[in-house]
Structure 1
């Protein structure tokens, strides 16, 4: 990196007069998870901080992603309980889903969350600037304001946290069909007559199940031969059976060749499965095939910031970009696309700005897919361990062996753990079951503490709880992986 970017003749300097540039200790572009915590923390420490946000105060998570989607998913869970009411000894004479009320519940939650964010900005002293920012020079950001004017900000340090957006693949007719992304799906005011979902990842599966539970026929289309193809086959099998039981059609190993019509009216998707072609028809189309980094239009070349061949900002293990004093955080930096990882990115940058050497390498990253039941994992899966020729003992039990699930009538699924052959160290845990994320987090804490699996096996855990299932799990007779000799 160049110590003084102003000395690099390849970087064009801004045309704005020096006296019009506002000086800050820290300028942040984007107000997502990592960005906002960096702003609030450093502003409280006395630094002059400005945050430029184009639209969503607080970023995607509280507005259009994590929390709103879980709000919708919970409404769908309540609907599923109504359909199962006889199982619980409750008679109903029928019910209807009011999607406008479902949407309004979500909107009310979002509005309250935005208010909390605004209050946090106010209390911290960080300045929130609503507008669109782009670099016009090294560490210099020009902000286009809603009233048509501009402001020019220079930071001793600058953080880029612009996130990602839904990928729209170059499929003939797809853009013209105006498909839903997760943003529009969370704003539906009516139940689709038939929803087609392209993509069998987190977003596609979570929303497919929720919309199905509201009463819409749903078809999921995925190019892979099984759902969540990077996970173990038993997870894919469990999810496939779950979706089949709920009446969701799965069209796998399917490559979309073209799309016609308009989402919200009528739409047709032509797919190829091997040598055969198939036509799928619906009223709404949801695209959930991945994420694209929001780097276009940021003027990164003016700042000396390079991007990767996939369009993400190029960073090192300290989250420094190729330009001195410029950092990147969260999704746009190519970090694992989870809010909790973006928060940890904040801690990395915070420590490094204070003179530390905090790196992102070797992080333990948990995940949870909020289908019902959930899929949660920390550490190694069987597929990963086998691929690395790591020997392990496999502990596995059905969720029905956890007695709490029987009281809830939520006994679907299983949990399994990989344990090192020699040290009793827990290598990984996967849960496909109710409360999977909470169970997984408990094992993660044990892994962080370096506890052997026997510490959980021999613990006295409250009965009847879901966590009590860890005693059952680690008391089971394990099987050995094929690497063991």
Structure 2
């Protein structure tokens, strides 16, 4: 028995950041719009990723501050951790966000169907409904925003240990005695510090030569020092060769360091894999819709986010966009404006990033490593965060800030590793977008004492040292 095709002006697959804003916008214009969601309404960010993780990380920071109460003249008794209480606070936030999403979808007029969607022909999606049965949706226009998920490296025995990803980590109601974290990037470092502050023993196994190996070396060194001071064991150049056991009971990982052929083993209670992401296209049957994927499974798009199939767009991480919620939102804006007759593209976007360790790592624009690789002449200003007086009022002086300025006096890049570093980021990014000289920020009147005030301190240091790139070698002139 054939299933009747239902026709819509717009079919959106995925209700994450890009998908939901596009659906709300198009349905709000009176266009028949339906959203297919296989998981939780709103996608990963409000349910199992960005916001829940920052909620848990903040609980860990509170625990750390309580243990340091004596520094602030506050007497505290022994701090005990109630992981169910941590989870309850996080779940309460998620419930509130879920209500907001329901209200917004209802107000927009966009229809939502819960189930797994797959292409069966051009611009036609079969949805295996969560409640049972199948619907066939035909869209005049189709928008794919299915995102990514945690990648599981192909290590023998690893999958059989049933390791945690960030999703299971956020739902953990107990405190691991010893947690091994595979991966020294954003997710791995944020969770490693949080779980250590809750009281777990933590070991990080990083495949690269150093933590955050794509960042400048001074950033990596500062982060490694932070992890050591937190009591976290860090091993780099780790090549995993085997894993066995069961996560939550006992897990054993075998590995060697670099080119050393000697096999070492590490036994722990729990294993968190934070080793990158993979696109959610494996069950999409994209080829049935004439949609090409690249070698890693991401959807091929042009700079307007158009796929190889006419009338089909891909947005967010599944389209290979940088893996940040704020980039997915901008993808929505690119598509929205082009649908309205505009000509917006994804080229040359200035994308900021923040890692929510404590202290934070915030960056926008080029790093020193990138600038040197490109052979761009630059001047460097760098200060310790202790030079920003706000950090002294907080007793949080760890870290540094640095800015790269080009020959035309415009900012090329900015990095800050320090307390509330993200609060400096927006001002720098705005100056870079406006293409104004760095002196605008240097001479601005910032409120005292704030972290942003440090920008004036930082950029006032620029004339004192003028490093310049000559054949990838930094010299002072």
One fold, TM greater than 0.5? Answer: yes
1:474 aligns with 2:450: no
> Which of the numbers 49, 53, 58 marks the counterpart of 2:37?
53
Q: What are the residue-to-residue correspondences of 1:165-244 with 2, within 5 Å?
A: 165-244=149-228
Using the alignment, how far apart are the partners of 1:479 and 1:259 within structure 2?
A: 50
Q: What are the residue-to-residue correspondences of 1:42-191 with 2, within 5 Å?
A: 42-191=26-175
Residue 420 of structure 2 corresponds to which residue in structure 1? 435
Q: CA RMSD in A?
A: 1.1
Secondary structure of the equivalent of 2:243?
Answer: strand
Using the alignment, how far apart are the partners of 1:222 and 1:95 within structure 2?
A: 31
Shift of 1:16: 4.4
- 4+ residue runs over 3 A deviation: none
Residue 449 of structure 1 corresponds to which residue in structure 2? 434
Structure 1: where are the runs of 5+ without partners?
1-14
Secondary structure of the equivalent of 1:387?
Answer: helix
Using the alignment, how far apart are the partners of 1:16 and 1:29 within structure 2?
A: 23
Residue 398 of structure 2 corresponds to which residue in structure 1? 412
What is the total number of aligned residue pairs between the two structures?
468
Shift of 1:91: 1.4
Residue 274 of structure 2 corresponds to which residue in structure 1? 288
Shift of 1:22: 1.2
| CA 215–118 in structure 1, closer or farther in 2 if over 3 Å, else same | same
Structure 2: where are the runs of 5+ without partners?
none
Q: What are the residue-to-residue correspondences of 1:24-35 with 2, within 5 Å?
A: 24-35=8-19
Using the alignment, how far apart are the partners of 1:239 and 1:372 within structure 2?
A: 10
Query: What are the superposed Cα offsets for residues 88-124 of structure 1, whole Å, 9 maximum, x if unpaired?
Result: 1111221210000000100110111011001100000
1:426 aligns with 2:407: no
Query: What are the superposed Cα offsets for residues 351-375 of structure 1, whole Å, 9 maximum, x if unpaired?
Result: 1222222111111111111111111
> Which has the higher mean CA deviation after the structures are superposed, 405-414 or 84-93?
84-93
Query: What are the superposed Cα offsets for residues 176-208 of structure 1, whole Å, 9 maximum, x if unpaired?
Result: 000000000001111100000000111100000
Using the alignment, how far apart are the partners of 1:323 and 1:342 within structure 2?
A: 21
Residue 310 of structure 1 corresponds to which residue in structure 2? 296
* Equivalent residues of 2:376, 2:469 under 8 A apart: no
Q: What are the residue-to-residue correspondences of 1:227-376 with 2, within 5 Å?
A: 227-273=211-257, 274-275=259-260, 276-376=262-362
> TM-score if structure 2 supplies the norm length?
0.97
* Equivalent residues of 1:396, 1:478 under 8 A apart: no
Secondary structure of the equivalent of 1:131?
Answer: strand
Using the alignment, how far apart are the partners of 2:132 and 2:411 within structure 1?
A: 57
Query: What are the superposed Cα offsets for residues 64-88 of structure 1, whole Å, 9 maximum, x if unpaired?
Result: 0000000000000000001111111
